[in-house]
Amino acid sequence: MSAYEPLSGWSDETRNDPAVKALRDKITERGGIEGLEILEQGDRARIRQLFHRDGFVVIAGILNDEQIDYLAQGCGEVMREIVALDDEGKGNRGTHRYSFGGSSLTRSQLHRPEWQMLLELTVVQEIVAELFGSPHFCLRAASGDFCLPGAVDYQILHADVRDWVDDESSPFSAFHDPNGHVTIRDLPCPYLCVNFLPQDVTQLNGPTRQIPGTQKSRTPIPTLDEEPEWMRLSTVCPVPAGGVMIRDVRAWHGGTPNLSDEPRAIPNLEFYAPWFREQIVPGIDHADYLKLSQRSQEIAKFCVADSSTPLQTGTVFKPLRPQAGKKS
């Protein structure tokens, strides 16, 4: 039995809808970034080059089979807890689409041992240090997202930073130059995300679409109505289970339909550059924090709850405000 069963959002009516069948055929035939490079963990120079050129990089073989199974089981448990609170299948990142962090009281899953395992991966710590050019980065949160089969809509393209001080659509990075000369996009990468893959990512199970090279772009991000078809098909796939996608969160990205028969989960770790800080909500109990390696404790030092205050964890459900057609 799959670690994700019995999660599904399919109805026979949706599955057999002619428009959904046509979309499945188009994605199968044309989905995926042409020439997508999937690197090995030892290709450090190329990892740095592609990350800084494209705003993301894909690396295979970060998790072994045992770690893949452990992570998938943990994701499945959390996914079932979240979906059980959503009787109408509305999702909190769009229909049949959910945020792991947005469904937690701490806005993180760092209290879970599966996400703590990810933090302890030495190879990820080393690669993140090389991308930032310094080992003195810190953990922001442990989160990610998942989408269920039957998610037939596209999420709007967006960036996980605020491009302008009056742009309230993005919750992070309210960097502001009062002279109007410099934006967050003119700086080195302030904040990156490592997405881990506990299952294969295919054309049909909701791969992330990434628009290469947009991390520095000041061009307004197109709405769904404005977005050209090539962007909708610019998906990071196929990638085998055990790999990671590391993203500069300023790059344009968005969710795509999951027309498969299994959920797709991409748990993550989010890291701030050594020179960049914003508010961090505690995500790990002090007792669990002390069980981490010394290096992981250093990275997560801003995420630990005070030893005198028990961490209040729990699963919640808050639907996302409608954003269709809104510029970001």
- pLDDT digit string (tens) for 143-154? 999 999 999 999
Fold (topology level) of 12-71+110-277+289-299: Jelly Rolls (2.60.120)
Helices (H), the chain: 12-15, 18-30, 44-54, 65-84, 113-119, 122-132, 229-232, 286-289, 294-299
Across the chain, mean pLDDT equals 91
Sheet holding 56-59, edge to edge: 38-39, 56-59, 244-248, 191-196, 264-272, 138-147, 97-99
How far apart are the C-alpha atoms of 257 and 9, rounded to whole Å?
Answer: 12
Query: Is residue 325 very low, low, confident or very high in pLDDT (cuts 50, 70, 90)?
Result: very low
pTM here?
0.93
Q: For residue 5, what is the DSSP state?
A: T
Proportion of the chain above pLDDT 70, given as a percent: 93
How far apart are the C-alpha atoms of 7 and 5, rounded to whole Å?
Answer: 5
Cβ-contact 210, 159 below 8 angstroms: no
Domains of the chain, residue spans: 12-71+110-277+289-299
Cα atoms found within 13 Å of the Cα of residue 42, Cβ hemisphere only: 0
Mean pLDDT, rounded, for 300-318 = 90
pLDDT reported for residue 324 = 40
Mean pLDDT, rounded, for 274-284 = 93
172 has pLDDT over 70: no
List CB contacts of 181: < 8 A, sequence separation 6 or more: none
- pLDDT digit string (tens) for 52-83? 999 999 999 999 999 999 999 999 999 999 99
pLDDT reported for residue 199 = 98
Query: Is residue 178 very low, low, confident or very high in pLDDT (cuts 50, 70, 90)?
Result: confident
How far apart are the C-alpha atoms of 34 and 176, rounded to whole Å?
Answer: 36
Helical packing angle, 44-54 and 122-132, nearest 10°? 50
Mean pLDDT, rounded, for 299-323 = 84
Please tell me whether residue 159 adopts helix, strand or coil conformation: coil
Please tell me whether residue 192 adopts helix, strand or coil conformation: strand
